[in-house]
A and B are shown apart, each in its own frame.
Chain A
């Protein structure tokens, strides 16, 4: 949790914005995930989201659904991802956040997971199917262990809920750019900028925007309005079905391109 806060502070002091890439852990395998995290950290990522593969990823479009399926075929699960983070912590200090659906988290046990994850070096969790209203137990477990429970808000949330979510979330507020699921889109909603400007007035914590953001141009466009930009499907798409060694460097190049407009 502290690591995320420190990162946003450090960037703010330099008038810089955070690039938050997402990849699904274990797609195509855990070794590649390890290589990708290190490469992305070197090439300009400020915080990395690692997806926990799930059989029924409701908030995700076809790209990340397919990534989940590939990772599940490798029998990737939460304990293995926590082990991966533990191993990564010997090599990188970058804030790491796990993004996953509630049932695997519940099945692991809320308190046990928060403790194990914190001990391994996980800094936060994003659970897209856990609304704030239902999150009391998780919020307490996460805060007690020192991992940030990060919450999402959507264009349909409305000012009063966004205020509540802003007070509940730790690390940052994840604003979903569209009403819908993850996945690269040609264009973002026209009213997104207005919406982000409004959200900004409703919350005190850092604000990151994600869902559907796939190009350096879009990143440049949104940068002035937020503290961080999440790019997921566009990276996962480049990774899909590749097993050759060159892919890690190519993703690194893409991350560097995405980061450039945020400096």
Chain B
């Protein structure tokens, strides 16, 4: 708790510091490569025959996903707080890579917790983290995936809190993390606003993003909070909601408390946390950011679920129509628009957040396609 209070205090002070803002903006531009393009996906639009689809190209960021927006912000924050070491949990490995990258850039020690199941599924990202100078610590407890990695990271943090900053990768966990991560990811929505105005002369009608913990979705949604823009968050239905093997926390979970936040959770009748499942490791989390739960309760956003097979179809569709391999996580958002294309009015402007690139998933997808 004192560590969280310290972080909250430091963040509320540092976020207004002009030097901090300048350094972050400079690195986002020259190091990450922002602004990321808002690309009109002409061929995908033609193939779907419904809405006019734009892709927010977070996959083109340095390290290949939206995660770096947050790790850069938190890295600079940690540096100003005098922390010498950063730790992180990772599922798909994207957040781990983004944290290891920033640690290398800022000269900080870095340990990444990763479930052994994810280490197996995301071999390439493990190699990348090691090349960047991070230690990858395998987590063998529980389901050996993201939630267990987060448990271990929290245990490390409470042990080494005096000199270590915990870089949470999503809008989840205890306050102030959901807010901090939302703020650092909001650059996605801010750019999208300006880019859409420039390209179409108006705001989009609908924003679609995948939701595991929910940081890429929140980053896209939040700057449109007060606008007449629909938000659709796409969760992972895994083998199907009825199978019980899914990660659809908002669609099929109940309210509870995990990792210091009150939010929707996958849990059994006694309040134990259930294992989540998705072929996309970055969605494999039995909780979700508390602000998404709030959006669900108020009706501000709609949450839907796409199963493994549909996500794979979305992956193939985008690869073939646009020549873009999406991350399996982002493929869920593509698959939703594919599935629901008929429900959009023709010409409606839809933005899909292409939160990451699919290079990391190529082996897994090839295996799945062959198996079929």
Contacts and interface: CB of A to CB of B under 8 A. Distances in A.
Interface of A: 54-56, 58-59, 61, 65, 72, 77-78, 102-108, 129, 131, 133, 154, 156-158, 161, 178-181
B273 A180 contact: no
A122 to B, nearest CB: 17
Given A78-B271, A108-B271, 9 more contacts: A58-B259, A59-B155, A104-B271, A104-B272, A156-B3, A161-B1, A178-B159, A180-B155, A181-B159
A107 B158 contact: no
11 contacts: A54-B271, A55-B272, A56-B142, A56-B147, A103-B271, A103-B272, A107-B267, A178-B159, A179-B160, A179-B162, A180-B155
Given A103-B257, A106-B257, A157-B2, A179 B271 contact: no
Contact of B1 (A65, A131, A180): A131
Q: Which 7 A-B pairs have the closest CB atoms?
A: A107-B271, A104-B271, A180-B159, A55-B272, A77-B270, A103-B271, A156-B2
A154 B157 CA distance: 14
B223 interface: no
Given A56-B142, A108-B271, A133-B1, A103 B155 contact: no
Main secondary structure of the interface of A (DSSP, over half): loop
Interface of B: 1-3, 141-142, 147-148, 151, 154-155, 158-162, 256-260, 265, 267, 269-274
Nearest to B270: A77
A188 B272 CA distance: 32
A61 B155 CA distance: 8
B237 to A, nearest CB: 22
Contacts of B160: 179
Q: Main SS of the interface on chain B?
A: mixed
B232 to A, nearest CB: 28
Contacts of A72: 272
A106 B272 contact: no
B155 to A, nearest CB: 5
Nearest to B259: A58
User: Which of B3, B160, B257, B271 has most chain A Cβ within 10 Å?
Assistant: B271
A52 to B, nearest CB: 9
Given A77-B270, A104-B271, A133-B1, A56 B151 contact: yes
Contacts of A108: 270-271
B299 to A, nearest CB: 24
Contact of B158 (A54, A78, A181): A181
Contacts of A104: 270-272
A103 B273 contact: yes
Nearest to B268: A55
Nearest to B3: A156
Contacts of B162: 156, 179
A178 B161 CA distance: 11
Contact of A106 (B151, B161, B271, B273): B271
Nearest to A72: B272
B270 A161 contact: no
A156 B273 contact: no
A77 B274 CA distance: 15
Nearest to A176: B158
Contact of B256 (A61, A107, A156, A178): A107
Nearest to A131: B1
Contact of B154 (A54, A58, A105, A154): A58
A61 B151 CA distance: 11
A93 B1 CA distance: 35
Contacts of B272: 54-56, 72, 103-104
A65 B271 contact: no
A250 B274 CA distance: 36
B257 A102 contact: yes
Nearest to A66: B141
Contacts of B270: 77-78, 104, 107-108
Contacts of B141: 65
B161 A56 contact: no
Contacts of B158: 59, 179-181
A72 B268 CA distance: 12
Nearest to B272: A55
Contacts of B1: 131, 133, 157, 161
Q: Which of A72, A129, A161 has the most CB of B within 10 A?
A: A129
A213 to B, nearest CB: 16
A82 B142 CA distance: 26
B4 to A, nearest CB: 9
B3 to A, nearest CB: 7
Contacts of B3: 156
Contacts of A61: 155
Given A104-B272, A107-B271, A56 B258 contact: yes
A58 B147 CA distance: 11
B275 to A, nearest CB: 9
A104 B151 CA distance: 17
A65 B271 CA distance: 16
A162 B3 CA distance: 15
B259 to A, nearest CB: 8
Contact of B142 (A55, A129, A133, A179): A55
Nearest to A108: B271
Contacts of A106: 256-257, 271
A101 to B, nearest CB: 8
Nearest to B1: A131
Contacts of B265: 103
B260 A129 contact: yes
Contacts of A156: 2-3, 161-162
Nearest to A158: B2
A57 to B, nearest CB: 8
B148 to A, nearest CB: 8
A177 B119 CA distance: 34
